[in-house]
């Protein structure tokens, strides 16, 4: 994988963002290639293209071989949406799909026998299976961030009933999270990369000390 990459859910399937990520000379961001994999919004045309795929196009995921509940198969989708507007000098995008089925032939809670999801990406060197498995590694990551911000950095309890003050409080909590993340990645040992704020507080910020007198100095 290249040095920079971006994985997102369907809320990130927005042309402005995708064009910005695909522009290697992008304004206001890092220069060069960024590998992108974003959950696609399932339009009727995309769903029809997935349903038209032959059975031979689907490949099973090895990571789900031991999953007793569902089976996932991935495939390349030859699909060009009518609303897609490729800008000059931007890398072309691909569409890959995942098909999810119950192993015992049972139905999902909504009564369907199969579910389809898709990803749009500019990473062409990977197979659909590898692309989908890498994209799905982001699952639950934002939930963990929300948990830290709400329960360890104070954003879960707003200070007052005034909108502006609460907005400032939330922004300070998010800034604190970003600073702690930068601290762990740039300055602290690798074993603290997954440390939560509470652990950092006890290990670093609240480290006890003793006041001593030595050579006419207070240390």
Model confidence pLDDT, tens digit, residues 9-47: 888 999 899 999 988 888 888 889 999 999 999 989 999
Distance CA 62, CA 215 (A): 67
Is 100 within a domain?
A: yes
> Domain tally for the chain?
2
Do 4 and 35 contact (CB within 8 A), yes or no? yes
Distance CA 141, CA 145 (A): 6
Do 74 and 59 contact (CB within 8 A), yes or no? yes
Give the pLDDT confidence of 108-161 residue by residue, as tens digits.
Answer: 777 788 899 999 999 999 999 999 989 988 776 778 888 899 999 999 888 888
Is 214 within a domain?
A: no
Same domain flag for 77 and 99: yes
Picking from 111, 139, 167, the residue at the C-terminal end of a domain is 139
Same domain flag for 18 and 49: yes
Could you tell me the pTM of the whole model?
Answer: 0.65
Do 75 and 61 contact (CB within 8 A), yes or no? no
- Kind of pairing, strands 35-39 and 5-8? parallel
What is the 3 state secondary structure string of 136-181?
Answer: HCCCCHHHHHHHHHHHCCCCCCCCCCCHHHHHHHHHHHHHHHHHHH
Same domain flag for 147 and 132: no
Predicted local distance difference test score (pLDDT) of residue 3? 78
Query: Domain span at residue 171?
Result: 142-205
Is 62 within a domain?
A: yes
Distance CA 79, CA 92 (A): 12
Distance CA 158, CA 176 (A): 16
Distance CA 16, CA 21 (A): 9
Same domain flag for 58 and 150: no
Is 96 within a domain?
A: yes
């Amino acid at each position: 994988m290249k040095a920079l990459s971006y994985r997102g859910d369907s809320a990130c399937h927005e042309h402005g963002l995708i064009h910005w990520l695909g522009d290697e000379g992008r304004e206001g961001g890092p220069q060069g290639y960024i590998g992108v994999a974003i959950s696609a919004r399932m339009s009727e045309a995309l769903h029809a293209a997935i349903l038209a795929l032959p059975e031979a196009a689907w490949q099973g995921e090895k990571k789900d071989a031991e999953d007793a509940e569902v089976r996932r198969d991935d495939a390349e989708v030859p699909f060009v949406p009518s609303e897609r507007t490729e800008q000059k000098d931007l890398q072309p995008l691909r569409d890959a799909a995942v098909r999810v089925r119950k192993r015992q032939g049972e139905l999902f809670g909504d009564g369907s026998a199969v579910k389809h999801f898709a990803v749009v990406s500019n990473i062409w060197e990977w197979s659909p299976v590898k692309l989908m498995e890498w994209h799905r590694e982001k699952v639950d990551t934002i939930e963990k961030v929300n948990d830290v911000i709400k329960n360890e950095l104070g954003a879960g309890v707003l200070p007052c009933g005034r909108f502006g003050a609460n907005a400032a409080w939330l922004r300070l909590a998010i800034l604190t999270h970003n600073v702690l993340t930068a601290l762990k990645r740039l300055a602290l040992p690798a074993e603290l990369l997954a440390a939560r704020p509470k652990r950092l507080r006890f290990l670093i910020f609240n480290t006890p000390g003793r006041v001593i007198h030595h050579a006419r100095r207070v240390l």
